[in-house]
A and B are shown apart, each in its own frame.
Chain A
């Protein structure tokens, strides 16, 4: 199913959670809403679900206006960060809930519900645990049960609010890949909220980067990484060294003339240059387009060497990834040339 979010605004008292947000998904897409807390990503997800309602704007499912439709009638699967499993029901009853509360004429027969539950328990790889209670399961198992419960109603759309937020790092990694496989198997359009950029980059088809109730950029993981639309996206996704620049006639002067690099966009005035740690190379000392840094620390990490260095007049230390063969000792001076960078 395709979803259109058209000019949605939402205010809570004086706080603007969403400010004229517009968004469109393709059928079968796996979309990530990524942003820091307070960016409006959860409000947007809840608005799509019908658990919250916008002050202005429309939500359309396959071209049909759903703006005022209550959640119960939208047929969406919603997965909560804290699972929200019904603690007094067994796993099987939890999964069956969405079917057993249906009106009699829409409700499948008992045997059909049981078969559906068994099928879903198989899908989440917990076939033996139907009789357990949520309290008897691990966090990862609970979240899988929550997903099965959401899938039981055969939703048109799957919405996940920080689905791995309450889990520890290893379980989170395993579940990520698993969730992506479930998505590919079911072919459901899915939207998930996360503040973890690594998670979004790893499993989403497209990423919606949000800040302060506004969408900063929508793009594939490759696009948001290599062509960030704003300084915020650039610094929020992946590591970035940020330095002040002065732009003049196609050149960008870093700091007080520490180095001068070409500025293809030919901007004018002050700005900020973003250099990713691995987008640099070692240069001849004294090169005009290289940064004269002093090494603070150096340690090999895998196939690269992570250098922490300081630059005269810049308070924040910088980080660079050089080939592991490049020995560098603390206190040593290096010339670091930015190879790829973006100026905002």
Chain B
């Protein structure tokens, strides 16, 4: 927004004050904590910082976080594309219900999302006895963490693609169909190239959340060190044990991830700028 914007009627003083308040707020609540994270991580120097990160438990947490993201992000990318394709390109009964269901994880508290899985698969849960009988563990194990993460992050890709695909309409697909292309060719050569930036953007947000999710994962994980601790959970444990440098070191990794996501997101927005207009959540 430029200063010469004719719709601005406030005096220059008021405008500067507003901008100032905005920046002050950002500095206080975003920038300062971020600096504190890195400062805390490096409080005892680089060597301690690295030592903390190569600690077996920390490494296990990093590995688990990457594994969970590597499973849940592709699942949700596929699900998101399929759901948006169905919603944007076809008319069917229950379409608005499907749209509301996709939004559900956004409106439910992550803790509740985690509890759903405990109630379903936990020892006292619905399917618990059957699972125990067959020697399968879901709660307090990696499958539960993956399930909870998939649930919490599943709206990201779909939310990004539905408005984009709805705006693009069906003409391109129908043109391809009339030219003799089969369903797979249409998807691969026409639909996917049309949505690639939106898809990448959605995957990025999905990944950031998958790696950073705390609430739902905390409920189903059981906090078993070296086994079911993800990075956010590991941060909490270290912090509760007064190992501030360790907590901040792992936290700084997560913060770096956020910064990288932000950077790539900015580049993507710049790449396909106008298409983003209707896609905000």
Contacts and interface: CB of A to CB of B under 8 A. Distances in A.
B95 interface: no
A71 B190 contact: no
A71 B174 contact: yes
A77 B172 CA distance: 14
B181 A84 contact: no
Given A51-B174, A80-B175, A153 B180 contact: yes
B181 A86 contact: no
A126 B185 CA distance: 27
B85 to A, nearest CB: 17
Interface stretch (A96-104, A189-197, A204-212, A213-221): A96-104
B181 A78 contact: no
A276 to B, nearest CB: 38
A2 interface: no
Contact of B180 (A51, A85, A102): A102
Instruction: Give the most central of B169, B181, B194: most A CB within 10 Å.
Output: B181
A48 to B, nearest CB: 11
B171 A80 contact: yes
B175 A84 contact: yes
Interface string A145-170: 01001101100000000000000000
A153 to B, nearest CB: 6
A101 B189 contact: yes
Interface string B177-188: 111111001000
B268 interface: no
A116 interface: no
Given A88-B194, A101-B189, A80 B174 contact: yes
Nearest to B172: A84
A274 B65 CA distance: 79
Which of A72, A75, A149 has most chain B Cβ within 10 Å?
A72
Nearest to B176: A97
Contact of A101 (B169, B171, B181): B181
A74 B177 CA distance: 10
A50 B179 CA distance: 12
Contacts of A84: 171-172, 174-175
B177 A51 contact: yes
A88 B193 contact: yes
Contacts of B181: 72, 97-98, 101
B175 to A, nearest CB: 4
A71 B177 contact: yes
Contacts of B176: 86, 97, 101
A72 B174 contact: no
Given A87-B194, A101-B189, A72 B180 contact: yes
Contacts of A71: 174, 177-178
Nearest to B179: A98
Contacts of A97: 176, 179, 181, 189
Interface residues of B, number: 17
Given A87-B194, A88-B194, A76 B178 contact: yes
Contacts of A72: 177-182
B178 A78 contact: yes
A153 B179 contact: yes
A82 interface: yes
A101 B179 CA distance: 8
B183 to A, nearest CB: 9
A49 interface: yes
Contacts of A153: 179-180
A37 to B, nearest CB: 17
A117 to B, nearest CB: 14
A149 B179 contact: yes
A73 B182 CA distance: 10
Contact of A51 (B178, B189, B194): B178
Contacts of B174: 51, 71, 78, 80, 84
Chain A CB within 10 A, most for which of B169, B172, B180, B185: B180
A51 B193 CA distance: 22
A97 B194 CA distance: 16
Given A82-B171, A84-B172, A101-B185, A77 B190 contact: no
A77 B178 CA distance: 7
Contacts of B178: 49-51, 71-72, 74, 76-78, 150
B94 to A, nearest CB: 15
A150 B4 CA distance: 49
A50 B189 CA distance: 21
A276 B277 CA distance: 50
A198 B178 CA distance: 28
Interface in A303-320: none
A102 B176 CA distance: 12
9 contacts: A71-B178, A77-B178, A80-B174, A80-B175, A86-B172, A86-B175, A97-B179, A98-B181, A101-B176
Interface of B: 169, 171-172, 174-182, 185, 189-190, 193-194
